[in-house]
């Protein structure tokens, strides 16, 4: 289940109860609802502005300080990939972004949000270099998976729905060609190896660390 409903519920709670954030945090993020133009720019028209998944992921990306990939790329870095994981059970969003330079070297940025409600508060924002060997392995896995030819979404198979799975959004911009896919874990199929390599080997993120309740102790993963 995705978090599109949080946008509506959060706005209702603010309006009725006037709920504020603790520790002096700004409540502006709770009020942010992506416009159709925001969604179109982030996902290049491949996800509709009326799609609750697009709204939820666009909200997370915007509040976590991310830009559309078409804006983030540069002549010095013609390839850029980004993953957003909606973790379980608390829906904490995690972002991993890989920028690949013309020399084949990479730079990865990994971000953990505090919670689904407050993605604009990051508990981790890490940048690191990625050796060309890891970059090449990821690109090979991605090509072998058929990523660029896969549909953005797949039809819901009600006979094989697995409740409580993490959801994955993977974007790529390669020399001006943009593509995005969204899947639950069981729907990754041939993409799974590439996605897990991206998260674990390149991003070095510990997704299991998001299984604790937000606010219970230190939510930062260990590196």
Q: Which stretches does DSSP call E strand in 78-213?
A: 79-86, 93-100, 106-113, 122-130, 167-174, 177-184
pLDDT, position 27: 52
Q: What is the pTM of this model?
A: 0.80
Q: Is the peptide bond before 170 cis (omega within 30 degrees of 0)?
A: no
Domains, in order of start, for the chain = 67-211 (3.30.1560)
> Given a cut of 90, is residue 209 above it in pLDDT?
no
pLDDT digits (tens, 9 = 90+) for 114-135: 999 999 999 999 999 999 999 9
CA distance readout (Å), 22 to 19, 62, 63, 71, 215: 10, 21, 18, 33, 11
Around Cβ 53, how many Cβ atoms within 10 Å?
18
31's CB contacts (< 8 A; 6+ apart) are 11, 14
Task: Check: CB of residue 73 under 8 Å from CB of residue 177.
Answer: no
């Amino acid at each position: 289940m995705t978090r599109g409903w949080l946008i509506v519920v959060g706005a209702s709670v603010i309006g009725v109860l006037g709920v504020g954030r603790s520790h002096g945090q700004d409540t502006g993020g709770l009020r942010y609802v992506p416009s159709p133009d925001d969604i179109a720019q982030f996902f290049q028209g491949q996800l509709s502005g009326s799609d609750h998944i697009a709204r939820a992921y666009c909200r997370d990306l915007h509040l976590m300080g991310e830009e559309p990939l078409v804006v983030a790329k540069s002549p010095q870095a013609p390839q850029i990939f980004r993953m957003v994981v909606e973790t379980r059970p608390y829906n904490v969003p995690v972002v991993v972004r890989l920028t690949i330079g013309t020399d084949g070297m990479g730079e990865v940025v990994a971000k953990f949000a505090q919670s689904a409600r407050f993605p604009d508060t990051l508990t981790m924002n890490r940048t690191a270099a990625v050796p060309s060997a890891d970059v090449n392995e990821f690109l090979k896995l991605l090509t072998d998976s058929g990523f660029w030819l896969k549909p953005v979404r797949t039809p819901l198979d009600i006979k094989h729905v697995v409740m409580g799975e993490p959801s994955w959004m993977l974007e790529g911009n390669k020399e001006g060609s943009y593509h995005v896919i969204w899947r639950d874990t069981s729907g990754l199929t041939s993409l799974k190896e590439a996605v897990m390599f991206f998260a674990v080997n390149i991003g070095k993120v510990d997704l299991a660390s998001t299984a604790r309740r937000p606010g219970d102790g230190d939510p930062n993963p260990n590196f």
